[in-house]
Structure 1
Amino acid sequence: MTQPSSVTGARADLLRERSGLALARNTARGALRIIETLGVVGRQGLGWALGDRDALPERLRATFESLGATYIKLGQFIASSPSLFPEEYVEAFQKCLDRTPPLSFHYIRGVVEEELGGSLEQHFQWVDPRPLASASIAQVHAARLHNGAEVVIKVQRPGVRNVLLTDFNFLYFSARVIESLAPGLSRSALSGVIEELQAGMMEECDFLQEARNLEQFNDFLAQTGNRAVVAPRPIRSHTTTRVLTMERLHGMPITDLGALREYTDDPAGVLITALNTWFSSLMLCDFFHADLHAGNLMVLEDGRVGFIDFGMVGRIRREAWEGMSSFLEAIGNGDVQTMARSMVMVGMTREEVDVDALARDITALQERLTRVDPSSLVQADRNDREVNRLLMDLVRIGEDHGIRFPREFALLLKQFLYFDRYVQALAPELDLFNDQRVDMFGALEQIPTEDS
């Protein structure tokens, strides 16, 4: 039956009132957050002025860690983007820690019950009150479903989404002011970088999107007949925007030599499986895993490879991958001229590049790729620093010749360098470029062109 217009109008007024109250609350929280931000920045600045004169990049990193989720993620973005930020800042932010004090289990229970409806016991047979991990955006707990399946629950921290929105709006406004005061900075598209990062982080706060990413990656594995690799499967009935329940994988980081030897007698084969899967995903999946540090690449108890944590993913155009594949193939062949030409193809430049001069500079860096202490590479922190040092050196060489690389190039190359480090540490006899089991570029050949 149709409701009287007066009732409909009253309901609309109530909705508008609720919307206004929500807006007022969010505005008030936003104002408090900006005051908090200015207070932290002021205290750090005062400490520096009073004589606590550590290096500016280190001071900025400490400030970011004090400000929480948004700035920690921004710091990690800086650390993974040597094509956009100065070397000293990239190095300083390698130490940006995404670890926060754990939330009480009372809060975890409340969020899960609010999101899923009913009591915690209705949905789970058991939940470990001790967190497996506690980071700036979410906290993770081990659990068991009533059917006996072992899972992990990822629960969003309180108010994260509103804090991100407030922080990024403040950063965007500040960037636009800076760009207007210093027109030369507008070429660096600082406000554009902030917008891009905001979109990525807001997506990371949507656990339904992360669930879709997991499903798409598992679909990619199924469609390619890949049974040697696995990613957690989300439990849709127990997943919302703020709670993600997914299959629990049991294993160890791929750099754990003891576990690797216990779970498999072919470490090189494990690495080849992971590498081929990642390269194939560049073209056959809608995205690629963009954070393959040792904690996110596992060897499971049954010898399979586990890809976990799809919080940072990237996408690449076919043209960019063609240039990148040519670059990597040239590394394997020791062809510095092709490496130089590929860098020009991938990068963005308005200048005429002297390919011969670029090739000479690359030669010195190429020699460093084979002079790494393998014993240091199984230590995650040292491995990350080594990878980023090589990456920064390559980017600097490009910039010296007028080439500016898109962030996707840095993300792609960083993952490849991770694999190169893993090979040197775990299977030094493996030749990535000449072993017939390695198929770096086969995925590209499987992609139909627009004419086909």
Structure 2
Amino acid sequence: MRKNTEFETQPQRPTGRRAGSGLAEDTLRGGLRVLQTAAVLTRTGAGWLFGRRPPLPVMLRETFESLGTTYIKLGQFIASSPSLFPDAYVEEFQQCLDRTPALPFRFIRETIESELEQPLEKAYAWVDTRPLASASIAQVHAARLHTGEEVVIKVQKPGVRNVLLTDFNFLYFAARVVEMLTPGLSRSAVSGVIEELQYSMLEECDFRQEARNLDQFNEFLQATNNTRAVAPRPYHELSTGRVLTMERFHGVPLTDLDVLRRHVADPTDTLIAALNTWFSSLMLCDFFHADVHAGNLMLLTDGRIGFIDFGIVGRMRKETWEGMSQFLDGIGRGDHRAVAEAMAIVGMTREAVDVDALARDIERFQDKLANLDPGRLLQGGRQDREVNRLLLDIIRIGEQHGIRFPREFALLLKQFLYFDRYVQALAPELDMFADTRVDLFAPIDQLH
């Protein structure tokens, strides 16, 4: 697919500071961050000594939220990685929210003007000083260009990258110490996870990469003649590594049932369009959207499905998706042995897997799944917890038979379970495995 080479190779814009002063300021901020981390850990330890002793997963989650950006993201990593962490921690960290108090607008203005190297009023005709959203890494504001287009501006909060680097250096050092002091623990078991998470989070901090993701996803839609879905168009001339200006979408989340039923004659058709778009992206795009929860899929006012927030994406190897295809196909046909064989293919194991025994356990799991009340899957804070519980059951069944799944499998399966929840809530009569309108596996046939 075509890439915007000029944008891709654009150097980091200067901030107007001299190199020496910038280095000194970063060093000072790093030192302050270490002191802040020590203060939070000391407070937690003191609370434990004086009798406040909640369960360890609860105490750890509360501590992570107090420590902010890096640790909140680490908590979300734990919540989405049941193959790596104990169930109690995975369940507890489902509550680790990525919402933070909004920064005063003067900080947002300073960042925009420094990054774009021009006054705010010259770049935009109007900017709403009230944020649309505020998360640990960035804050989002509505705006309008001088040409009249409505946009949103995603602005990275000051010092985020420095905090991430400082925190990960500390975490990596601690992980290596643990590995050296723990007999039998792989030298890369913990530090390898830390390195992977650092890479993905620093990539998420580079808004130029997110802009490229938006471009590539829209190019994928154009190449596949998909007119039912769209991603926001980035404005590269008003985007840098810390500021992303993109087209503003108007619509409602796919889980806003009352609005959908008032404005969509056939919710099933909308769901099928979203499903076909996402499944085809697994093989026909360079990546797939790895966070299709309710807030990131919208029904737009013109009837298209809007895929938003491409800060977190996944990349799928052909072999993994082929195994996953067999897994989903087996579930759809009720063929428990086929499901077991697919799990043995996708999972990493050095042991011989008793496929018949695994198939029997999967059959019991499917009976349990069939007894769930679909109508309760969209209720408030139960969303992520319910999805993750199903994921945990599948992962646990595999591990009982000596299978350990790669994280990409768990990440992919979680997105699938999100879609399954949409189907059960909006169009429970739809069988996404058997309905010929849903193209789960066609992309593999198109590869050469």
For 1:243 and 1:405, locate their aligned partners in 2 and report how far apart those are by CA, in whole Å: 36
Displacement of 1:54 in angstroms is 1.1
Aligned to 2:5: none
The 1-side partners of 2:183 and 2:281 are apart by 40
Report if the CA contact (8 A) 2:257-2:426 is conserved.
yes
1:109-168 deviation digits (Å, cap 9, x = unpaired): 111111112211111111111000001000000011111111000000010000000101
Question: CA distance change for structure 1 residues 208 and 161 in 2, over 3 Å: closer, same or farther?
Answer: same
| CA shift digits 1:346-398 (9 cap, x unpaired) | 01111111111111111111123222222222235212111100000111111
Question: Deviation of residue 20 (structure 1)?
Answer: 5.5
Could you say which residue in structure 2 is the equivalent of 1:209? 209
How far apart are the structure 2 equivalents of 1:188 and 1:447?
35
Determine the C-alpha separation between the residues in 2 that align with 1:390 and 1:187.
31
Paired with 1:109 and 1:19, the residues of 2 have a C-alpha distance of 22
| C-alpha contact 2:176 2:187 (8 A) present in aligned 1 | no
In 2, distance between residues paired with 1:272 and 1:80?
25
In the other structure, the counterpart of 2:15 is: none
CA positional deviation for 1:188: 6.9
Look up the equivalent residue of 2:197 and give its one-letter code. L
Residue 253, structure 1, aligned to residue 253, structure 2:
yes
Change (3 A) 1:103 1:426: same
Alignment correspondent of 1:428: 428
Matches within 5 A, 1:315-326: 315-326=315-326
Q: Distance in 1 between matches of 2:285 and 2:34?
A: 40
Can you give the 5+ residue segments of structure 1 that lack an aligned partner in the other structure? 1-17
Secondary structure (helix, strand or coil) at the match of 2:185 reads helix
2:250, 2:300 within 8 Å by CA — same for their partners in 1? yes
Aligned pairs for 1:48-447 (under 5 A) are 48-186=48-186, 189-447=189-447
Measured after TM superposition, the shift of residue 55 of structure 1 is 1.0
Residues 369 and 188 of structure 1, relative CA distance in 2, 3 Å threshold: farther
CA contact (8 A) 1:263 1:300 kept: no
Query: SS of 1:183's equivalent?
Result: coil
* Corresponding pairs, count: 432
CA–CA separation in structure 2 for the residues paired with 1:72 and 1:392: 21
Runs of at least 5 residues in structure 2 that lack an aligned partner in the other structure: 1-17
Identity among equivalent pairs (%):
69
- CA root-mean-square deviation: 1.4
Task: Give secondary structure in 1 for the equivalent of 2:152.
Answer: strand
Corresponding position of 1:13: none
Paired residues of 1:294 and 1:380 also in contact (CA < 8 A): no
Contact between 2:143 and 2:150, CA under 8 Å: does it hold in 1? yes
SS of 1:245's partner is strand
1:239, distance to aligned residue in structure 2 (A) = 0.5
Distance 1:263 1:213 in 2: 30
Contact 2:82 2:395 in 1 (8 A): yes
Code of the aligned partner of 1:117: E
Q: Does structure 2 retain, via aligned residues, the 8 Å contact 1:293–1:380?
A: no
Letter in 2 for 1:274: A
Partner of 2:6: none
Displacement, 1:19? Answer: 5.0
> 3-state SS of the aligned residue for 1:349?
coil
Instruction: Say whether the 8 Å CA contact 2:290–2:314 is kept in structure 1.
Output: yes
Change (3 A) 1:20 1:177: farther
Task: Give deviations 1:72-96, integer Å, cap 9, x for gaps.
Answer: 0000011111111110000000000
CA contact (8 A) 2:180 2:187 kept: no
Looking at structure 2, the residues matched to 133 and 66 of structure 1 have their Cα atoms a distance apart, in angstroms, of 20
User: Distance in 2 between the 1:431 and 1:19 partners?
Assistant: 60
TM (normalized to structure 2)? 0.94
Letter in 2 for 1:311: G
SS in 1 for 2:265: coil
Change (3 A) 1:187 1:431: farther
- State TM-score, norm by structure 1: 0.93
- 2:45 maps to what in 1? 45
> 1:184: how far off?
2.5
**2:389 counterpart SS class:** helix
Q: Is this contact kept in 2: 1:171–1:194, CA < 8 A?
A: yes
Q: Which residue of 2 aligns with 1:8?
A: none
Query: Matches of 2:369 and 2:116 in 1, distance apart?
Result: 50
Which amino acid in 1 is paired with 2:91? E
